[in-house]
Structures are given as C-alpha cells and as structure tokens.
C-alpha cells in the first residue's frame, strides 16, 4: 500500500513538472523572439542614424556603398587642379607657356582678341563695370599676344631703360618688372586682359567685383615677391568663378592658390 502510494506521488510530481515546462515554453519562445526583433530593430536604427553622414564609417557603409552618387568623391579622387583645369594654367617668370600651346581666339570690342572661353564672362564683367566707369564700357587695350608681339614689347621696354642710361643687364631687370620675358606672359595664354578705364575708379570697382565673373586682380602690390611682377591695376586674368572667389575671400594670388608660392 505504501509502495503504490509512493508511485502515485511520483507520477503526480512528473505530471506537475511537465505542466510547468509546457507553461514556460511560450514565455521562452516569446523572450527569444523579442531578443531577435530587438536586435534587428537596433540594427535598423543604427543605419538610419548613420544615414546623414555622407561617406561616414561604421555600419551605414554597407548600405551606402551601393549608391555611387554618395561615393564618387571617395572613389575617384580629383588629380591636382593645375593638371586638368585650363583656367588655372600658371604662366609667370618661372613657368613658361605650355609647349605647343594652341588657342581659339575671338575678337572683343576695340579689336583685341582673347580665348573664346573667356569671352562671355569678360563681356559680362565689362558691361557691369560701366557703373564704375562713368557709364562707359571699359576698353580692352591688350588681350592675346603672340610670341612676336611679346618679343617686340620686351625689346621696346629694354630700349627705354637703355636710353635712360641703364646697362644691358640693368635694363633687362627693370623691363622684366613690367613686361614678361617672351614665352612667360599670361597674355600669350589668351586669358589675360589689360583694361583701360575712364578714371581710376574703374580699378577699384574691378578689385571688388571681378571675382564674381571669374577674373582676378593678378598683380597686387603686396604680392610682387610671389608673382614676380610689379603692381598692375589694369591687368586681369581669368581663372573661373570658383577659384576667383576663393582667392578673393582668402586674399591669395594665383601662385599661393596653386601652392607654388
Ligand atoms: Zn597685362
């Protein structure tokens, strides 16, 4: 009787354990599911949070790698500007005109010629500059120059100094402050113009506004050591609006902007 009773108790205990496990199963399953969902939800949030950082690192990379627009900059680093951008070609005392340089010219009012690519911004600037020039269109008195023209100007300037009693070497040194050695003038690029105004006010207007049209006051008096050229308020050089604005805002000359100063 005792033995039977003990067996009965054991069966009851096992049945109770099975009921408990059965009752616990949905709770365990729910916990596992919640954990899984929570992990997935966390992942989604991480990506959303990371989304506004273009090119940012971390988990978002996997998502945005597939968008080429987001990664163009990282994948194709731009070569140095002076290697590709015609408008930033540097010609000065130390850098000659590129070999076999060719230019497509177009005539501006007054008969001078310039590179056709700078015609529109130049004319727009000169038109707007009327307000600083007593209502008159400023005149381009020197645009593109051939090697021969530059040679004549250079020889003429040396002759002027020789006539004043300078030695050949001194005359050349003086002349080169004002007229570039042939092959070293921006005028030979076709991107530079010497502008004549009705009054000096025009030059003040140009110094404050030319960058909006992509032109720079190329030889300011405070950069003579870097440009190698004495101040020329009349000489403007096209570099494009982006570069001109940056140079204007930061007070840089072309040599400084290109990192060759
Ligand atoms: Zn000039």
Active site residues: 232
Which CATH number does 81-145+185-257 carry? 3.30.1380.10
**CA 233 / ligand 1 centre spacing (Å):** 9
**CA 205 / ligand 1 centre spacing (Å):** 18
Q: Which residues contact 67 (CB under 8 A, 6 or more apart)?
A: none
pTM of structure: 0.67
**CA 180 / ligand 1 centre spacing (Å):** 9
How far is the C-alpha of 257 from the C-alpha of 237, rounded, in Å? Answer: 14
**Three-state SS at 100:** coil
Q: What is the mean pLDDT of each run of 10 residues along the chain (261 residues)?
A: 52 53 47 42 34 32 35 44 76 94 96 98 98 96 96 96 96 92 96 96 97 98 95 97 98 96 78
* Domain extent listing, the chain: 2-75, 81-145+185-257
How far is the C-alpha of 141 from the C-alpha of 173, rounded, in Å? Answer: 25
* Residue 173: both structure tokens together: 């040194």
Which residues make up the environment of ion ligand 1, defined by Cβ < 5 Å?
194, 235
How far is the C-alpha of 122 from the C-alpha of 244, rounded, in Å? Answer: 13
**CA 198 / ligand 1 centre spacing (Å):** 18
């Amino acid at each position: 009787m005792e033995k039977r009773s003990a067996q009965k108790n054991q069966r009851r205990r096992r049945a109770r354990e099975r009921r408990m496990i059965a009752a616990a199963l949905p709770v365990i399953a729910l916990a596992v599911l919640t954990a899984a969902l929570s992990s997935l939800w966390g992942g989604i949030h991480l990506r959303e949070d990371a989304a506004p950082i273009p090119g940012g690192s971390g988990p978002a990379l996997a998502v945005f790698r597939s968008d080429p627009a987001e990664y163009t900059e990282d994948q194709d680093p731009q070569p140095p500007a002076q290697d590709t951008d015609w408008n930033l070609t540097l010609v000065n005392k130390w850098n000659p005109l590129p070999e076999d340089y060719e230019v497509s010219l177009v005539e501006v009012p007054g008969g001078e010629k310039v590179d056709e690519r700078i015609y529109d911004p130049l004319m727009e600037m000169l038109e707007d500059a009327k307000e600083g020039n007593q209502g008159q269109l400023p005149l381009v008195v020197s645009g593109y120059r051939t090697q021969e023209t530059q040679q004549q100007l250079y020889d003429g300037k040396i002759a002027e100094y020789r006539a004043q009693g300078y030695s050949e070497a001194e005359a050349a040194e003086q002349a080169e402050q004002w007229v570039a050695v042939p092959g070293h003038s921006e005028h030979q690029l076709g991107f530079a113009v010497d502008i004549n105004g009705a009054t000096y006010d025009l030059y003040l207007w140009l110094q404050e506004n030319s960058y909006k049209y992509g032109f720079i006051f190329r030889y300011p008096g405070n950069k003579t050591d870097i440009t190698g050229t004495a101040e020329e308020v009349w000489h403007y050089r096209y570099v494009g609006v982006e570069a001109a604005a940056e140079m204007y805002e930061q007070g840089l000359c072309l040599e400084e902007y290109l990192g060759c100063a």
